Chain A
């Protein structure tokens, strides 16, 4: 039974008690506690059930590597699953609940899995779900969904605020232990701009717990002095509670900072730092390894270092009688700490044949029983430790002695934290003597110029003794000299199957020694494959405790050395980070930029139904009260064709192209000639990509002798501007052409309909008559006092003026048009009306009639392709045999026999079936609408030999067996002679 000790606890403040609950039970801890230390201090040893076998589990570790002690934290919209208690600072009112059990932590039905462990071996899912096929959906998946996973997913939106920030430094030091602080001092004194990130709330790392002397001081005193010195330096930033999550190419490091956890003062909860560091020094320490013996997961079996952390840092006793199991000298520190806290160490079980180092001798001198050449055969107890059975390490597990205890402190040696070093390519070497992978200084991660991006110091570099760590930084330090460890991958060495079935490697995913050995027997050799097959190291702890033990066992099973097996890939983040921090400000209104025209607010106020076009929102239609979208669209069209309509065309791309070579440039970009366009004239043009496919279209206007204005599609403005600059900067860099994207400089309004001229004449200011401003010309002047550019162009077939005004006057101009147009029955119309009217006229739309595989010739646009020009982008591609194939589907109009509207995208079927047993096809619908003018469905489509088959009827199968019959007709449905625009 764990408890709070009466004295001590270097990190807690007993004057500040904090209340919290666990599964509804009120508990109390102190400021400075982690949730883990508070729970343990409150006597809660069992904290959850395991993932697969539902075995009772408790704390194993005291830091980021903890695999078991994950809880649901908070409730309702602040509910968060899988919160690691060892890295969660205790706060007033914390509500934690245990995970992965039903109906309760104490009594769990799923624990029956543990009894049938033989039937849940490695690869169980793969093996079981092969057949029968229906069973997956109806049997396995529902059961797995019920039993798998750990915490419950939150159901409500997160109310907290998160943000990101950018920073820059010469040196980023990862880890605020003594090695990191020493490195920071050295770099800072050399004048470097230094950032130090420490993931916990405290400086100093393990040193204050593990003892020794630095520069003649206690480690804690040295740390305090170092932090004070660094704090006083302007070129240093010290960051606590900031976990360096990843190191990426070009020295780009991600830091995850806990800022205002549970704060109600407006602070963001987390901040994600995006840091460009010239050099990253990883001082990330080392993680102690568990030992694989039977029952090593029973609550109360902990890492030796964690046991002394709980005692020294938080004055929490993990148990009254602590048995230490080790293969090294360091764990003896735990025995000494336990004893110093007034608790009992019944025995130190050392797997080595002899233990004669300074620390073992000290333990013996303090009267602690040291048993060498021994191991743990089995841990007794289920929900908590009641004792250990001791055996010979060299044997098969025959019990020599049973020792009663309520805590087991184990140490299988240490593994350097090499994650950041490895994230972007740093290599590791196997250190046989220390039984660890450590960074290979000769093969660091490198930057663009081949320079090292990272350096490693301290325990992260495999230096485990205080003296050697500080020696690196030129600071004298001493601690007890440690004798070499003995690598122990299984305890006892000859453990029988029954023992190995309960010897856990990966606690979080319930992977045991027997699973890895089974995988090896089944032919798995690659550590990456074995990882995925057994799920070793795949849980949210990413195998921090299990990886080395697992690959050592795999190597042993395959009869090859550990370095040959190698490690799995280390990937960021080091520990899980919140989705909120990844998202930063990009949520709600700021999820994505929304582009607004100057009239956006007006449309919104009029209840416009929106259509997204790129990042713009354009009114699809303006429904009146009680009106459906369909009815509104029909009304807008009829009104425009009868009276006058207004379209907000501000989103239309407007790119100015100027220079001595501008004409030549546009002749290359467009399929038709633009260089011979008269000043003041407009011409419709097509742009293709190098492969000949239609890319964009629009009206080009010649503003002056050397200046053209290119209108592009709304969605294409930025892309086409980039396309122009690409050709000018990379290919035709010696051509004298400048471009400017003036899309947003102007608000543009299409004034469309038979009464359009009357409306403009009412505003007055310039001559907009047929004679002064004929179709396909442009003029500058004023209308109603607004400075305007007026283009006589039409996408509807009606008398139409597109009028550009400076964007800041756009709303005023739009309002003036609406006011002046009242007597003419003016109404705004939306993009759907625009689409229907252009389809009535047989005008193509980029993105409807084109899909990246369509060339102008397919659309009957041969008239817009210059025969005179030597070249234009796409010309040669359009001459390739496939492009000139007469069997390419061509644009036609389609009229249903019964007047109904064809479904969008349907195919016309042909005789026979293809190799896949599907009906052959001979065409497809590209645009289809209801025409309120013709009071019937109209459509355009691409059809095999279409233009030669006028009058033929095609069949278009729709959903649910429906077949639409449609006749091939001319694509111009309305005002074929074009009389309405020519007035």
Chain B
């Protein structure tokens, strides 16, 4: 296997919050009937469960998020993504489903710090004051598609397409510059 590099090689900036590309991340798109028992079983095998509408379920470094009525996103390590993708595909082989490894198609960013919300509220039409932990929000950041969730204490993770990673980091950088604190 040859060396893989993420879109921005973990570039980061620190203003009133720290914004950073998260580096290589495994992501698997699962399109299936979300009530499927085979799906539930396969996720259970990973210590996870089928998330409810808009929810994220996390366990031991892996998360699975509800993306649409027939789509989930499994987030894992980059290295295990090809294998997991294959085993999930096998587990759902008898049902109408589509499991694809999209780890390389995306870029992931984290916004961390006490005022992290103030960075993303400049870019995304999301009510961060009421945005709970454990919820995945598909939205936009300025002009590009984005999905985000609270991935830890004072941390928000944002996913976008790989090709616009530099644009996303540019947005996050300018929005987190010192002096730009909102409250």
Binding site for B on A (CB under 8 A): 161, 163-168, 193, 260, 263, 265-268, 271, 274, 276, 584-586, 589-590, 592-598, 616, 656, 658-660, 736, 738-740, 742-746, 784-787, 806-809, 811-813, 816
Q: Are B105 and A786 in contact (CB under 8 A)?
A: no
The 9 closest A-B pairs by CB, nearest first: A266-B179, A738-B98, A595-B163, A808-B4, A807-B104, A745-B105, A744-B105, A168-B127, A738-B31
Q: Are A274 and B161 in contact (CB under 8 A)?
A: no
Q: Are B5 and A738 in contact (CB under 8 A)?
A: no
B167 interface neighbour in A193, A593, A659, A813, Cβ under 8 Å:
A593
Q: Which residues of A contact B105 (CB under 8 A)?
A: 742-745, 807
Q: Are A659 and B96 in contact (CB under 8 A)?
A: yes
Q: Are B102 and A740 in contact (CB under 8 A)?
A: yes
B59 at the interface (CB under 8 A from A): no
A593 interface neighbour in B103, B124, B126, B144, Cβ under 8 Å:
B144
B91 at the interface (CB under 8 A from A): no
A271, A740, A786, A808: most-surrounded residue (chain B CB, <10 A): A808
B166 at the interface (CB under 8 A from A): yes
Q: A168-B130, A266-B180, A785-B1 are in contact. Are A744 and B163 (CB under 8 A)?
A: yes
Q: Are A161 and B3 in contact (CB under 8 A)?
A: no
Q: How far is the CB of B165 from chain A (nearest CB, A)?
A: 8
Q: List 29 A-B contacts (CB under 8 A).
A: A161-B174, A163-B175, A165-B122, A165-B182, A166-B122, A166-B127, A167-B127, A168-B129, A263-B179, A267-B179, A268-B180, A276-B127, A584-B142, A585-B142, A589-B167, A596-B165, A658-B98, A738-B32, A738-B70, A743-B105, A744-B105, A744-B106, A785-B1, A808-B4, A808-B103, A809-B2, A811-B5, A812-B2, A812-B4
Q: How far is the CA of A165 from the CA of B129 in the complex (A)?
A: 13
B115 at the interface (CB under 8 A from A): no
Q: Are B104 and A806 in contact (CB under 8 A)?
A: yes
A786 interface neighbour in B2, B104, B143, Cβ under 8 Å:
B2
Q: Are B127 and A596 in contact (CB under 8 A)?
A: no
B104, B130, B144, B174: most-surrounded residue (chain A CB, <10 A): B104
B11 at the interface (CB under 8 A from A): no
Q: Are A167 and B3 in contact (CB under 8 A)?
A: no
Q: Are B31 and A813 in contact (CB under 8 A)?
A: no
Q: Which residues of A contact B13 (CB under 8 A)?
A: none
Q: How far is the CA of A161 from the CA of B174 in the complex (A)?
A: 9
Q: Which residues of A contact B32 (CB under 8 A)?
A: 738
B121 at the interface (CB under 8 A from A): yes
Count class of interface residues, chain B = 35 or more
Q: How far is the CB of A745 from chain B (nearest CB, A)?
A: 4
Q: How far is the CB of A259 from chain B (nearest CB, A)?
A: 9
Q: Which residues of A contact B174 (CB under 8 A)?
A: 161, 163, 585, 590
Q: How far is the CA of A977 from the CA of B99 in the complex (A)?
A: 42
Known: A742-B102, A812-B2. 7 other contacts (CB 8 A): A596-B164, A744-B162, A745-B105, A806-B104, A808-B4, A808-B78, A809-B4
Q: Are B142 and A590 in contact (CB under 8 A)?
A: yes
Q: Of residues 82 to 108 in B, which have CB atoms within 8 Å of A's CB atoms?
A: 96-98, 100-106
B14 at the interface (CB under 8 A from A): no
Q: Are A787 and B1 in contact (CB under 8 A)?
A: yes
A165 interface neighbour in B103, B106, B121, B171, Cβ under 8 Å:
B121
B63 at the interface (CB under 8 A from A): no
Q: Are A267 and B5 in contact (CB under 8 A)?
A: no
Q: How far is the CB of B142 from chain A (nearest CB, A)?
A: 6
- Which single residue of chain B is at the shortest CB-CB distance from A657? B98
Q: Which residues of A contact B165 (CB under 8 A)?
A: 596
Q: How far is the CA of A858 from the CA of B40 in the complex (A)?
A: 52
Binding site for A on B (CB under 8 A): 1-7, 24, 29, 31-32, 70, 78, 96-98, 100-106, 121-127, 129-130, 142-144, 161-167, 170-171, 174-175, 177-180, 182
Q: Are B179 and A260 in contact (CB under 8 A)?
A: yes
A660 interface neighbour in B2, B96, B162, B167, Cβ under 8 Å:
B96
Q: Are A745 and B2 in contact (CB under 8 A)?
A: no
Q: How far is the CB of B123 from chain A (nearest CB, A)?
A: 8
Q: Are A812 and B166 in contact (CB under 8 A)?
A: no
Q: Are B2 and A813 in contact (CB under 8 A)?
A: yes
B3 interface neighbour in A165, A659, A743, A809, Cβ under 8 Å:
A809
Q: Which residues of B contact A659 (CB under 8 A)?
A: 96, 98
Q: Which residues of A contact B70 (CB under 8 A)?
A: 738
Q: A597-B163, A659-B96, A785-B1 are in contact. Are A746 and B104 (CB under 8 A)?
A: yes
A589, A592, A593: most-surrounded residue (chain B CB, <10 A): A593
Q: Which residues of B contact A263 (CB under 8 A)?
A: 179
Q: Are A738 and B97 in contact (CB under 8 A)?
A: yes
Q: Which residues of B contact A656 (CB under 8 A)?
A: 98, 100
Q: How far is the CA of A858 from the CA of B113 in the complex (A)?
A: 60
Q: How far is the CA of A739 from the CA of B70 in the complex (A)?
A: 11
- Which single residue of chain B is at the shortest CB-CB distance from A166? B125
Q: Which residues of B contact A586 (CB under 8 A)?
A: 142-143
Q: How far is the CA of A807 from the CA of B27 in the complex (A)?
A: 13
Q: How far is the CA of A594 from the CA of B121 in the complex (A)?
A: 22
A784 interface neighbour in B2, B24, B96, B162, Cβ under 8 Å:
B2
Q: How far is the CA of A808 from the CA of B102 in the complex (A)?
A: 11
Q: Which residues of B contact A598 (CB under 8 A)?
A: 7, 162
Q: How far is the CB of B149 from chain A (nearest CB, A)?
A: 17
Q: Are B125 and A745 in contact (CB under 8 A)?
A: no
Q: How far is the CA of A660 from the CA of B29 in the complex (A)?
A: 19
Q: A594-B166, A660-B96, A746-B104 are in contact. Are A274 and B125 (CB under 8 A)?
A: yes
Q: Are B180 and A167 in contact (CB under 8 A)?
A: no
Q: How far is the CB of B18 from chain A (nearest CB, A)?
A: 16
Q: Which residues of A contact B78 (CB under 8 A)?
A: 808
Q: Are A166 and B31 in contact (CB under 8 A)?
A: no
Q: How far is the CB of B180 from chain A (nearest CB, A)?
A: 6
- Which single residue of chain B is at the shortest CB-CB distance from A274? B125
Q: Are B121 and A166 in contact (CB under 8 A)?
A: yes
A164, A263, A595, A736: most-surrounded residue (chain B CB, <10 A): A595
B105, B129, B161, B163: most-surrounded residue (chain A CB, <10 A): B163
Q: How far is the CB of A528 from chain B (nearest CB, A)?
A: 34
Q: Which residues of B contact A276 (CB under 8 A)?
A: 127
Q: Are B142 and A745 in contact (CB under 8 A)?
A: no
Q: Are B1 and A742 in contact (CB under 8 A)?
A: no
B96 interface neighbour in A168, A592, A738, A743, Cβ under 8 Å:
A738
Q: Are A266 and B164 in contact (CB under 8 A)?
A: no
